[in-house]
Every structure is written in C-alpha cells, then in structure tokens.
Structure 1
C-alpha cells in the first residue's frame, strides 16, 4: 500500500512485486477492496486520481494536456482525456470517457499512469493549439520543471515545425493565463515585460509598453477575503505612486479578449498614464 501511494496511487504488478508484494497479497487486496484492478496487471488505490485510473484502463498513460494538468502546468480547457498508448496496441478498453489516444513508440517515466515531463511537453506541442502549447511550455519553465536552455533538445526527433513552438517559450508566467496575455499582446505589437518588481508593492504580472502595469487574476482568485484585501491594497499603493494598473480575470482574458485588448491599447496610448517611478524587471536567468 505504501509503495502504491508513492507511485501516485496506480502501479503495475511488476512494480509492486519488486517492492516486496506477492501475487497472493495483491489478489487479497482486490477482494478486500483496499485496492482495485483497472486493467490486468495494474492496481490502484480506491482514492486514486480518476484520470490516472482511466488512462491505465484505456491502455496507456496520461499524456499531452491531461499529463500537464497533473504536473501543475497549464492544461487549457480541453476536457478530453489524452492518453499515450504503445503504437502496436490492440483491443484497448473503453474507459467510459472521451479519449484522445496518442500512438507512440516511446514513453519515458517511472510512473505507469502518466508520461515523463519531457514526453508530456513533446506531446503537447504536437497536439494542442499553439497558444495552449506555448502556455504549457512557459509554465513548465517558470515552475522549474523544464529549462529554457533545454527547449532546443526537445525538438530532437520531432517534426520540423515543432521547433517554432518550442522557440516561443519564455520564463515568467506563473499561470497559463499570464502566458496567453503575453503571447497575444506581443503578437499585437506591444512590448511586454513579465514579473516586474515595484518597490513597496512587490511583483506585478506584466508591464506593457514600459508604462502600463497589468495584473491577471486566476480561476482560484479571491478564494478568501485576505487575498481580495491584499490586492486592493496593492492597487491603491500603485495608484499612490502615480502608476496605473489594469486588473483582469482569467474569464475575461479567455472569453472577452477584444474588450481586454481594447482597454490595454487605450491605456498604453493615454498621455495621462504616468511612468515616473523607477522599476526593475526581476532577474529570471536562474530559470533559463
């Protein structure tokens, strides 16, 4: 049971037997309800992540955006289960959910329920829309799961067009939403800096055109009153310093981008927006 938890709640019989379990003990565990068998030769705790269990039941491992979600990265809004399965797999079971199967001859990682970080990033670039793929790469670099310097090596063995996607990765996005804002504003011709430090306030998500500060609130934003009050204090302090900040929610960015972009465009060109306090961009070389 301990080894099963260490492996993320899902493991193969070979892994469990190598850790000291016996075939008889595994059978007893299934009969007693302390574990379940989603597929022949695989075992899971009753409380194991349903996505992980469904991936094994479907004949493979979580991949692409589904694996990205389990690594704490941006996962877009694709509700389907992305699973990597061996290229020669046959008679795969139906897990009862909408599945996207990625057929591959390689899949690294010690966990039987999800691919490695490297294979996750590669599958995301091949499968996901470019904007989402870059957001996954950005959050992987910022979180430390990947290095910007490694992006070139991830292209090895991949289709030639993927190099352009990997080349768009940048450090500094704490969330996929921040990455999407950066990408869209940059493509719109704006100069965008991320993780800008303001003395007495702290880090601000973005500075646009050297003038306008932009903060992005994620889906879980304001889950408590304290978070709400802290951000109101930050906004007031920025205003006291003569700096203007625009704050947008994740829903606004994803569902009402034209309005968000129009507000930013107008604010950047507004002569009343001041930039008279020295700011410095936080050094992010350690992430590269």
Structure 2
C-alpha cells in the first residue's frame, strides 16, 4: 500500500513509522512537512493537508499520540463502533505498555490496562475495545440508558457483559458497572420502588400512595388527590410488543379517567433522579392550579 492510499483510508492520519513502511524516506517526510503538505499534529503523527481534522481524524490522532499499539475505549469507542451517535470530546485510550505513555493530543486520556486479545478489535484501521468492554466503559459516562440501548440492539448480552466484567474486576469504575449489571440482570420491582421512594423523599414530595388500584389497573405511584400517576417502566431490552401494548392501554385508560400520567424508566431513576423529581413536582403544581 502506498502512502496516498493509506492516508485516504485513515482520514488523512498516519504515523512516521507507517510512512516509512510505505517507502517514504526520512528526507521525503521532512520535505513534505516543510512544504506544508503534511502537518505533525502530535509527536510522530501526521495529517495530510486538505483532510479536515474532524471527529474521525481526531480519534486516530488521540490513539496514535499515545502509542502505536494503544486502544480506543469508553464513549469514544462506542461512537467509533456505531453504538452511539454523539461525537466524543475526549478519547479514553488504553496503553498496554508499562511506564508513562506520551500524551501529545489534548483530547487523549490515557490509562494503562492489559487487555485480552478477545477484547480488542480493529475497525477501519483503528484499534478499539470490543463491543462488550466498550459498553461497560462507556456506560460510566453515558449512563444506564446507554447500556440498555446496547442490549436492545443485540450487539451485547447480559451474559457477555458479565463475562468481560469478570475479566477486569479491579478496573476503574468497576463498582458502578457492577451495580448497573445487577439492575440489568433482574430489574427487581422492589428495588425500583425503593429508588423512587428515595427520590420523592429527597425532594420533599409527599401525598403519594404506592401500588394504588385504579381503573382496573395498579398505579405504581399515585397522588390520588391530584390524580397524578407515576409509572416505572422496565428496561427496554426486557420488553416485548405485548408488554408495550399493555402499558399503552393502561396509560390510555388512566388518562380517559382524568389522570395525568408520567412514565419513567430505570435509567431515568438511576441517571436523572433530579429531573424525575422536578417533573413530578411540576405536574403536581399544574394539577393543583387546574383544580383551584
């Protein structure tokens, strides 16, 4: 492969070593840098003039600036693998070489970790963590809803997530990931209720009744004086079409009978408790104003 083909395939980014391997001499590299045809964007990492320094190029620069065998991880790897759509601002980069890794890119956050071969993949010429490890790492930043979405896509399963979690029990963020896996594994109704109660009490919201029968159904958390119902939905990957339809039928029945219905997911309770409390409080104020 010549250097032109390599640069096209790699978003205009490559290392000095790769250029040499493509047959470009050191003097030719120096001439291209002097002419502005190539820019050294990190130590030993070049960007061809005319190629935008977009998200893909920056991800490559971040990884190559740390080490030739470094691995992209976390939310940045999730984006690279198509598991999420938000372009990363920072790039978690794993280096498997002991000692202080160089960090020539301002967006690279380097962390030493020895990775099993099965947990590293190459996508479009860039080394990244495989899907399961990526989901575990990215969920620490993107939240439980991201893990739920990844499970729903079928790219990972609770079993494969648990397996990779067990391979790195002492890694950064392992405790939070373990808590997420416990919730994903059983999604215990009682735990959802306890979590909702803690959110309501912390916000000073009172007047609720848990598991109130109404309209032929049971409302998870009801404010009967205000006719505000709070329903806690399960994880998306657990739900099938029948369960979805049952919840919609329940919601419609309550609304026909004058209830204001708020639906929240496990991820809302875990990742956005303040938002949940604020929305419930707002619904209660609105209901009070209407009845005044």
More helix by percentage = 2
Distance 1:187 1:266, change over 3 A: farther
- Quick one: which of 155, 163, 177 aligns to 1:145? 155
Q: CA deviation at 1:104?
A: 0.9
CA distance in 1, matches of 2:9, 2:47: 12
Unaligned runs of 5+ in 1: 171-182, 214-238, 268-288
Q: How large is the RMSD of aligned CA atoms in angstroms?
A: 5.3
Instruction: Tell me the CA shift for residue 64 of structure 1.
Output: 1.4
* 2:45–2:61 contact (8 Å) kept in structure 1: no
- Return the TM-score normalized by structure 1: 0.51
Kindly indicate whether residue 131 of structure 2 is the aligned counterpart of residue 117 of structure 1. Answer: yes
Any conservation in 1 of the 2:132–2:160 contact (CA below 8 Å)? no
Q: Deviation string for 1:126-149 (max 9, x for gaps)?
A: xx26xx443332222233432344
In structure 2, C-alpha distance between the alignment counterparts of 1:92 and 1:263, rounded to whole Å: 50
Are the counterparts in 2 of residues 10 and 44 from structure 1 also a CA contact under 8 Å?
yes
Larger radius of gyration: 2
Alignment map for 1:28-177 (pairs within 5 Å): 36-39=39-42, 42-45=45-48, 46-48=51-53, 49=55, 50-59=58-67, 60-73=70-83, 80-90=90-100, 92-97=102-107, 99-106=108-115, 108-110=120-122, 111-112=125-126, 114-124=128-138, 128=140, 132-159=142-169, 161=175, 162-169=177-184
Residues 246 and 9 from structure 1, CA distance in 2 versus in 1: closer, same or farther, beyond 3 angstroms? farther
Aligned residues: 218
1:124 is displaced (CA, Å) by 3.6
Q: Which 10-residue stretch deviates more, 158-167 or 9-18? A: 9-18
Deviations 1:220-254 (A, max 9, x none): xxxxxxxxxxxxxxxxxxx89x9987699x9xx68
What corresponds to 1:192 in structure 2?
233
8 Å contact kept, 2:43–2:104 = no
User: Match of 2:23?
Assistant: 22
List runs of 5+ in structure 2 lacking aligned partners.
186-190, 198-219, 221-231, 287-292
